[in-house]
Amino acid sequence: MKHFIKLNFLLFFCLLSLLNAQSQNGNIKVTYKVQTLKNFDTKKVDVQYFLEKSDEQIKNLTFELLANKEESFFSAMDKVIKDTETPYYNMALALSGGARKQWYVNMTENIILKEYEFMGEPFLIESCLGDISWTLINESKIIAGYKTYKATCFIKILGNKETKEVLYEVWYAPELPFATGPMGLAGLPGLILESNKGRVRIYADSIEQIDTFNIPKFDKGKRMKEDEFNDFATEKIANFRN
Amino acid sequence: MLNTKSLCLLFFTGFFYLSSQAQTLEGKVLDTLNKPLEYANVLAIPSSEKLDIRFSITDQTGNYKLILAKDSLYNIEISYLGYQKISEPVTLTQNKTKNFTLQPSNQTLEEVLIQQRLPVKVREDTITYRTDVFVTGEERKLRDVLKKLPGVEVDRDGNVTVNGKKVDKLLVEGKTFFTGDTKLGVNNIPADAVDEVEVLDNYNEVAFLKGLSDSDVMAMNIKLKEGKKRFVFGDIEVGGGIEDRYLAHPSLFYYSPKTNVNVIGDVNNTGKKAFTFNDYINFEGGFTKIIEDPTGYASISNSAFAQSLVNQDFVFNRNNFGAFNIAQQLSTNTQLSAYTIVNGSTVETRTENENRYLVNNEVTTIENRTTTNQADNFFTLSKLELNHTPTLEDDLTYKATLKTSNGSAFERLTSLSTLENNFVTQEVAPSSVALDQNLTYNKQFSYKHTTTAIASFTYANNKNDTDWQFTQPIFNDLIPLDGEAPFNINQRVNSKNYSGSFGIKHYWVLNNFNHIYPVLGYSHSHQEYNTQDVQLVQDSTNSFDAAGFNNATNFKLNDPYFGFQYKAKIGDVIVKPGLVYHYYFWDVSQFGTTEISAEKAQLLPEALITWDIKSSEKLNFKYSLRSQFNDASFFANRVRLQNFNSLYRGNEQLENSLAHQASVSYYKFSLLKGLFYNANLNYTKRVKSIRNATVIEGIDQVNTSVYTDLPEENFSIQGSFSKKIKRFKFTVSGNTSLANYSRNINNMVTDYKSNYYSYTVKTETYFKQWPNIEVGFRQGFSNFSSESFENKFTQTDPYAILEYDFLNDFILKADYTYNSYVNRSENATNTFETANTSLYYNKEDSPWGFEVDVENIFDVSFKNNNSFNQFIVNDTRIFIQPRTLLFKISYKL
């Protein structure tokens, strides 16, 4: 998978931005960067220092979304880290929510697949685009030259005793007709260029047109429906804590 | 904001469990325009003190839900920023739905913020409790406060859970509290100092270390009241027992936001080490430091001082100990930490050996040796660390360590052998001073370029003065002793070391997958080593100078080096090869005459390959060629007495030892299946080594260091497998080490094989109510052989450990081990049993604790041990402290 990204990166690197969104039918590669909106309230001491160093590293994270009209693939870009920075980088990756995960969205088949490592075992978690219930909000702003609109949704994540819902606030661009976005967020009438969760913001840094892309096989791990997995995982977490 | 909805859910479910005779009050909180208010606090304060406060936070549609006791009067209080507070009594006879409408407040926002601090505030990943709403004033410690907060639970030990999730880290005023261990803070921070309790969810600092990346980790931050930001706490333990055993162990902590002080004292004659390895880690900066620097733990645990914390066997041990630790924040960017440890001890040991000496692989002589030793030692260890981080891009650290030690020991040794009997007394008076200084500077120029520079300077001065008295002359041919028995020999040894080094490492990020790290440095060491052995004859001395004794050796070593490391990532594999070029030049002189002036180039390759198969599965491969120069004492080419039966001579011709080292390590775990595997392989092949050539006659030996390429190989493999099934954990582990080497003994090269195999099988239980036991069986096989000689030992140790918390306030601990030694070559068996037990009583919430402690229940007087090397097979009895019975009382300040 990593080879493939690297290969694409080399072969299809293209400086052309999208000329006209309406005529856009092909494949795109969107590079997302991450930033943290503000720091913890803690005083500037050891913990703060650790978090600040991690926030520094967050700027070095890059995610990539490969998409066409039918399907998309989202994952963290691989890179090698200096030994001295490894703990901060790992922290940054964990904060962004993208550590050891990747997403495949099929817009025509209405499927979202998440590859996820849970308690040391790989899982393939399946959900439907329709499961995300978007609230469209009549606010707009311009991101990278595109007019975007705001939408919010609650995503179920694994909590401690039960799943909890986390608020995502995203900005999508109807001019870019790809019903997908970062971290498996999909199903809006336009490409998601920015996503906010808590203090972490993921935003599109560049959009390129590419000729073709391959989606890696999602065959690692046990395949489960999201609800089924959430029940299973919640029970396992409860057992583990006992 | 994110967690609000789920938090509400959690609170609700929590409350369902709590009350059986419960009624539900639910509804919406709205504003005057009938729009729902999200995050409004709804509190139900009972008029009866027996009932708990109930509480709910509205969700995004303004819903709240409270589970209240039936037929009880509650006062419902609803507060919301910018609205007037509602206060309304309610008594439920059945489930009820009630909506509340809040009136806008005409106060300005600033006024509201000051006057109306919400009892519970939920914002993003943080829940803040204002504690004065929940406490009754009778709370003694933080734990009592936490127990009153909704959703917070505290167990006996001081572990805290919030909504069922364990708090992993305790902060006070945003800063790690001493060690970061929640228990210390929870059980000790005075209740009246606590203002707010903040719970930071998704605080992931340690999550990735547990291999659970992305999982939720919580930290709790305690905000202190104005005027109560300084406090003192601690505890004192005193005890006494039969045969005049005593102990006193006060420990005192002082906390203020900028200054943390910890004082530990200890006086005892029970042999227990008062200062534990954990205390030492705290002094070294606590576990936070270890998290940030993964090599930190290894370097702390390998330090000479940490090694001395490991208990050794003794007959009697008295310790007077004091330690002082301070962490001071000098400014926002500058942190000072320092500690001093002072220890005075008296240790008495007694050992009995049966030594069988091998010459040409045959037992030639049997010696029975009894050694008793009484040692007084006084040492100090002080460390100062200054850390300055003006920006995130640069930081400067200065460390200085000063160690001093002064001791005196008296040893009485009886050696009875088939050849001769000798009674030896030995008095030693060692003293040492060592100062170590270290300056590290890190500078990040850009993401692509970071530089680390390290400068260090070391000064060490070790002296040792030894007086021997022998009833028989020793080494007749080599030591020209005068007069009649008893013979007195005095030896003075002094070694001084001045060394300094400077090194730079540059981190250069070429691109996402390739880094290159050039290194450059220079180190210099200058050592002076002096020895003098003389016989004391009445009023004069008899010098052994003419017999080749006494050294005045100077050794200077310079080592400039440069090289690089290359780090690359290919898929899930990280490779990190490196190459460093050293150019050594050194001088050895004896009594001012230069004996050696040499130089040598050495290329040292290394490689590291890491394969991150999954976050829970990792494979590591490491290789390096290691080069090392020994210290001046090995270059001192004239004779000195090592022991009553051994002489040693160094060798000015020595060079650097060289060895290939390779290791493979693998681990895999699945928390889901409760499975853990790990395996390690290590292989060392020596190319050039510094070894002794030994001439042995009877029990006497003369050792000379030689620079040799005699073959020497070590191979070891360790592995373990464990599986958790419900409340049982089963573990199987094994260990094999194989060594092949050759030694020069009596001018003949002999090959040796030393093999060791061992395995452990054990079962542990993890019950909550029942007693927990660990039962295991360990067995080890040692085989030592040469062409014509073989020695085999088997050691078998079944053991059991019990821990039982009962009647809430008692803790019973006991352990038992059965030790058996079998010499399979001679069919001789030795067995002994060790057992200890203690019973502790502490009524929860009471500052008093009581303990009865029995060590060495069976009153075993010695432990058996076996060892062997090329010329001695050794059967040792190490005498241990007889049974001790102690009563202890502790009081928590």
Q: What CATH number should be reported for the domain holding residue B95? A: 2.60.40.1120
Kindly tell me if the per-residue pLDDT of B878 is higher than 70.
Answer: yes
Can you say how many angstroms the Cα of residue A87 is from the centroid of all Cα atoms in its chain? 21
pLDDT reported for residue B125? 59
Kindly report the average pLDDT of chain B as a whole number.
84
The tokens for B384 are: 């100062």
Sequence-ordered list of residues with C-beta below 8 angstroms from that of B543, at least 6 positions apart, any chain: B534, B549, B550
Do residue A80 and residue B515 have CB atoms under 8 angstroms apart?
Answer: yes
- ipTM surpassing 0.90: no
As a three-state string, the secondary structure of B560-612 is EEEEEEEEEEECCEEEEEEEEEEEEEEEEEECCEEEEEEEEEEEEEEEEEEEE
| Long-range Cβ pairs for the range B361-368 (8 Å, 24+) | B361/B750, B361/B786, B361/B787, B361/B788, B361/B789, B362/B788, B362/B789, B363/B873, B364/B698, B365/B417, B365/B418, B365/B419, B365/B698, B365/B699, B366/B417, B366/B418, B367/B415, B367/B416, B367/B417, B367/B699, B368/B415, B368/B416, B368/B417
Closest CA to B851 of B238, B234, B235, B155: B238
Most confident of B128-132, B205-209, B757-761, B785-789: B757-761
Burial A71-90 (b: 16+ CB within 10 A, else e): bbbbbbebbbbbeebebbbb
Question: What letter represents residue B441's amino acid?
Answer: Y
In angstroms, the Cα distances linking B499 to A125, B78, B588, B627 are 60, 70, 16, 18
Segment B3-22 shows an average pLDDT of 42
Instruction: Give residue B6's domain range.
Output: 1-106
Residues of B in contact with A159 (CB under 8 A): 6, 10, 216
- Strands B165-172 and B218-224 turn out to be parallel
So what's the pLDDT on residue A66?
92
Is A13 touching B (CB cutoff 8 A)?
Answer: no
B174:A45 CB<8 A: yes
pLDDT at B810 over 50: yes
**Domain count of the fold of chain B:** 1
CA distance B480 to B647: 14
Residue of B39, B161, B213 to mutate for A, most A C-beta atoms under 10 A: B213
Give the single-character DSSP code of B788: S
Chain A hits for B5, CB-CB cut-off 8 Å, are 154, 164-165
In a domain, B31, yes or no: yes
DSSP secondary structure letter of residue B83: B
Contact between residue B384 and residue B399 where contact means Cβ atoms under 8 Å apart: yes
B298 CB burial (10 A radius; 0-12, 13-18, 19+): exposed
CB proximity B673 to A under 8 Å? yes
User: Is residue B832 in some structural domain?
Assistant: no
pLDDT 10s digit of each residue in chain A, 242 long?
Answer: 334 333 333 333 333 333 333 334 478 899 999 887 655 444 334 556 666 777 778 888 899 999 988 889 999 888 888 877 776 777 777 777 776 788 999 888 888 998 887 777 888 999 888 888 888 887 788 887 888 888 899 888 775 556 777 889 999 888 888 889 998 898 888 899 999 987 788 999 888 888 888 888 777 788 999 888 888 887 877 776 55
Q: Which residues of A touch B219 (CB under 8 A)?
A: 47
Q: Which residue of A has its CA nearest to B218?
A: A160
Quick check: is B49 in a domain? yes
Q: Is B244 left (phi over 0), alpha (psi -120 to 50) or beta?
A: left
Kindly state whether B516 is in contact with chain A, defined as any CB-CB distance less than 8 angstroms: no
Q: 108-167 in A: which are within 8 Å (CB) of B?
A: 117-122, 154, 159-167
pLDDT band at B398 (very low <50, low <70, confident <90, very high): very high
Q: Considering CB atoms only, which of B164, B171, B568 is closest to A161?
A: B164
**pLDDT in the model for residue B295:** 55
Q: Which domain holds residue A63?
A: 2-241
Question: Is the bond into B190 cis (omega within 30 degrees of 0)?
Answer: no
Do the domain assignments include residue B315?
no
Q: Do A46 and B176 touch (CB under 8 A)?
A: yes
- The pLDDT value recorded for residue A54 is 74
Count of domains in chain A? 1
Is residue B786 a part of any domain in this protein?
no
A120 vs B165, B452, B672: nearest CB? B672
Task: State whether residue A105 is helix, strand or coil.
Answer: strand
H or E stretch at A11 = helix A2-11
Q: How far is B215 from chain A (nearest CA, A)?
A: 8
* B503-542 residue pLDDT tens: 999 999 998 899 999 999 999 999 999 999 999 988 888 9
The pLDDT value recorded for residue B109 is: 39
Question: Does the beta-carbon distance from A121 to B672 stay under 8 Å?
Answer: yes
Residues of B with Cβ-Cβ distance to A199 under 8 angstroms: 124
Pairing assessment for the beta strands B449-470 and B514-537 based on DSSP bridges: unpaired
Give the span between the Cα atoms of B81 and B87, in whole angstroms: 15
B769 touches chain A (CB under 8 A): no
pLDDT tens-place string over residues B719-756: 999 998 888 889 999 999 999 999 898 888 989 999 99
A-B Cβ pairs (cutoff 8 Å, strict): 159
Query: Do residues B620 and B609 make contact, with C-beta atoms less than 8 angstroms apart?
Result: yes
Across the interface, whether the CB atoms of A160 and B216 are under 8 A apart is answered: yes
Q: Which strands, in side-by-side order, build the sheet including A200-210?
A: A135-143, A146-157, A164-173, A191-197, A200-210, A27-36, A62-67, A71-76, A101-106, A111-118, A121-128, A222-225
Instruction: Read off the pTM.
Output: 0.76
Of residues B751, B740, B742, the one with CA closest to residue B706: B742
**How large a percentage of chain B has pLDDT more than 70?**
87
Once rounded to an integer, what is the mean pLDDT over residues B628-654?
93
CA A95/CA B126 separation, integer angstroms = 15
Dihedral Cα B682, B686, B689, B695, nearest 10 deg: 90
Sorting pLDDT into bands at 50, 70 and 90, what band is B217?
low
